[in-house]
Chain A
Amino acid sequence: MALLDGARPRVRKTEKGKAGMRNLLRRVLVMREAGVLAALILIMLFFGLFTTTFFTATNLTNVLRQSAVLGIMTMAVTFLIISGEFDLSIGSTFALSAVMATVMMEHGIPMILAFLLALVLAAVVGFLNGVIVTKLRIPSFIATLGTMMIIRSAVLMASERRPRVLGDRGLVACIFGGGELFGAIPVPIIWLLVVVAISWVVLAKTPFGYKVYATGGNIQAAKLSGISTDRVKITNFMLTSFAAGLAGLISLCFLRMVAPVQGEGYELEAIAATVIGGTALGGGVGSIFGAFIGSFMLAIIKNGLVLMGTNPYLQDGVLGLVILVAVVVNLRLAAARSGVRPMALVRRLVGIRSPSGSDQQPPHAQGGSP
């Protein structure tokens, strides 16, 4: 649970035992991520029941590994959306960094240097996105739609429209995604966990994280408080592109190749994962924990549907449905959370209306919350 993410109900630590359990339950229920966490558990149980292979160590490792590339991008996208902006160009940037790294290596640049330059290039893309949005005042949806197409075109030209193969299997390739820790844990998982941990600390525990929430929560108020909102946004665009570049390199090292059209659609999947995790598209509200659960859930659903042997064309349909349901539930939870007692919230979730609408507190009620 993020330290800063809006209001947090305080539950008094009272007697242990029964009351303690009830408090714990309340605490979980009023959490912003309660809905998505419950959904994740239900979905996992569902696949566990209907397939024999779902709950195996190999499969779960696999799912986590598959979610890594998208998960890393989702973390940065969460920062960006909380500060009130979007980025549609990350799919292109993802391919850009991988393709440019291979092109540079073909020209004799050492791998490690090629990788670092590819990351710098990604960050520069983010900087440009940020400047276009904040200084030229073009809505990020339009601005990054433009850069998405420009970068994709550059990728296609640089790659000469053919997949690029990564021949090198040295230490750098291992570290960036080809290797396995202790011979069992694929390196992409380590990257994912490290990125999640750093993102969580930065967003929830640092003044910068506070400013991200402030900028998205009310940009005028943030400016009045002396926060340079442009700088916050540009930084977030750079983080997002950098994460996309990093994800591109990890994918390159793991798959040992990159196709010039790779990464298409990642921008929307990352936004979907963030939103499923309870981040408000309008900005100001959200958390890394929720976004992580969101991206994991997407991977679980894809994996589970494959295991069940469903028609592959069904996959996107199911994902779409999950996104819609998640947004509706999150909205209702948010509405319920402002000024509603936790138990009324449960009642509302299952659709029972209390008589006379008395689960609403009056607007100026004081001292009525737990």
Chain B
Amino acid sequence: MSASEETQVLAFEGVDKSFGGVHALKNVSFGVLAGEVHGLVGENGAGKSTLIKVTGGVYRPDAGRILLDGQSVSFHGPRDSEAQGIRIVHQEVPICLNLTVAENIFLHPSPPKRGVLLDRKEMNRRSGALLKRLGSSSIPSRNVGGCSPAERQLILIAKALAENARIVILDEATSSLSDAEVQILFQVIRNLKGHGTTFLFVSHRLNEVASICDRITVLRNGEYIGTYENSDPEFLTEKIVGKELENIVRKSEATPFGGELVLEVKGLRQKDASLSEISFGLYEGEVLGLAGLRGAGRTELLETLFGLRRRDAGTLSLGSERANVRAPRDAIRHGFGFLTESRNEALYYSHSVRSNVASVIIDRLKRYGLIHGRRFSKVAKDYVKDLQIATPSIHTEVRSLSGGNQQKVLLARWLAAGPRILLLDEPTRGVDVGAKNEIRKRILDLAADGVSIVYVSLDFEELVQVCDRVLIISQGKLIDELTGDDLTVRNIVRKINALERERVTAHAAQVGAVADAV
């Protein structure tokens, strides 16, 4: 250790932090080497956020020290840590959409000026140089509103560099990026690492952590578990959860086609989402996966089934009955449930856990026209216990729960409604490993009870583990189906990529034809 101590650019020594009764960090000690990409992983509530905030000067530790280049530092606010070259790039991108790329980069602390006026030319020139260094082709004078999420992340990193950051902390920076965009970001990180910048990379995605980090530190319940060079996701998961993890996998027994046909979709078309010729059947107790790239129409298909989008053509049959679904209300009456990808769309943040759980079934909790208070509370209490939702009480604002627990609250809402068909859009995205398994387990239990499930996920491994059958969707059309032994991650990826290649080739041909014509 003594040899490496000299090159430790950032070190924590016995850092301790409590909030009221919650011991968020317990005597945490570890070091980050100069020029490395250091992973920081742990479940929600393990103390990652607190540690980042302590490093960023937002909180002051109750005990312990932070060392920068071996010197003890004490931060009284974010400005102090910024002055020492520490920059935090957060999950939620604080960026002004109405300003240009260059304006965002120089928003703070001081843009180049000529007299009292902004020197736009200089600003654009310097931004351009920074972005080029990052391998980004963003145009400095362009509005940020038109940039993709990945470009925005890069802009923020450029911003950090403009302020001479030595240590960049990436807090779930990849959660809104596609795979290709993540690769670009990683290229940039490797590039900067070569120039001596140190990174602290915080993420739930263990595969990404494995591919980019030199060493990985694991926190659990506010305690330091260890720093490892072994980046095997299985190994890390064990350290994060602290117990042997049984991987929750569907044991597909009887073929689902033996079951009763619950939903039959025929010739469904939706113009705005460019869905067309969608036909499929869903069987009782089946878990049907829907795999495709971003923008392929997965979410749009679920929204159309649920009545959030108007069907331009096609029929939905439930058993022998033709379903007339024109609004979510109709869908719910026909036994549909829909867990959306975005929690923002579905949660009442300023309302209690109890209110959030009862949202769909509130009319069933009536007695003499009034809400039956005891039953209202009981529903919530039962699910809090059943799904192990970590909340101080059922009266707590949902806002203050962690992401995984918020997701469980939403799952509870639909479990309480007792649907026959449950549409799930990325049900385990952005939640920690423990909650992920809990949610998966509940979904499979539900299927075992005869509920039919449509499962959308970008995590193909999850689809393979959970689903009986997977449909491949591309450009708004269902183009293939995988079952049984054919249902592997490799096959899903292959099918999707083959299509993508076709599309790209077709597009290139089209462009070529136009060029020829001109």
Contact = CB atoms under 8 A, between A and B. Distances in A.
Interface in A1-40: 3-4, 6-10
Interface string A357-370: 11011111111110
A233 to B, nearest CB: 15
B22 A368 contact: yes
A52 interface: no
Given A6-B350, A213-B355, A361-B19, A207 B49 contact: no
Interface string A271-291: 000000000100011000000
A31 B24 CA distance: 28
A81 to B, nearest CB: 14
Contact of B396 (A3, A280, A369): A369
B349 A218 contact: yes
- With most chain B CB atoms within 10 A of its CB, the pick from A225, A227, A341 is A225
A347 interface: no
Contacts of B370: 201, 205-206
A356 interface: yes
B359 A221 contact: yes
Contacts of B331: 226
Nearest to A356: B60
Which 8 A-B pairs rank lowest in CB-CB distance, beginning with the nearest? A7-B397, A217-B348, A226-B332, A225-B359, A356-B60, A364-B402, A364-B45, A226-B329
Interface of A is mostly: loop
Nearest to B222: A362
Contacts of B186: none
21 contacts: A4-B351, A7-B395, A9-B393, A201-B370, A206-B366, A206-B370, A210-B355, A224-B338, A224-B340, A225-B413, A226-B327, A226-B329, A227-B329, A228-B327, A280-B350, A357-B58, A357-B60, A358-B19, A362-B50, A367-B22, A368-B392
A223 interface: yes
A217 B398 CA distance: 12
B346 interface: yes
A363 B350 contact: no
A214 B351 CA distance: 9
Measured as residues with beta carbon below 8 angstroms from the partner, the interface class of chain A is 35 or more
A28 to B, nearest CB: 16
Interface of B: 18-22, 24, 44-45, 49-50, 58-60, 306, 308, 327-329, 331-333, 338, 340, 345-352, 355, 358-360, 362-363, 365-366, 369-371, 373, 390-393, 395-397, 399-402, 413
A363 B402 CA distance: 7
Contacts of B346: 218, 220-221, 224
Contact of A8 (B45, B338, B347, B352): B352
Given A220-B346, A285-B350, A338-B399, A367 B355 contact: no
A185 to B, nearest CB: 29
A324 to B, nearest CB: 23
B279 to A, nearest CB: 26
A220 B371 CA distance: 23
Given A6-B352, A9-B395, A225-B360, A366 B371 contact: no
Nearest to A369: B392
A362 B401 CA distance: 10
A226 B327 CA distance: 8
Nearest to A9: B395
B351 A3 contact: no
A210 to B, nearest CB: 5
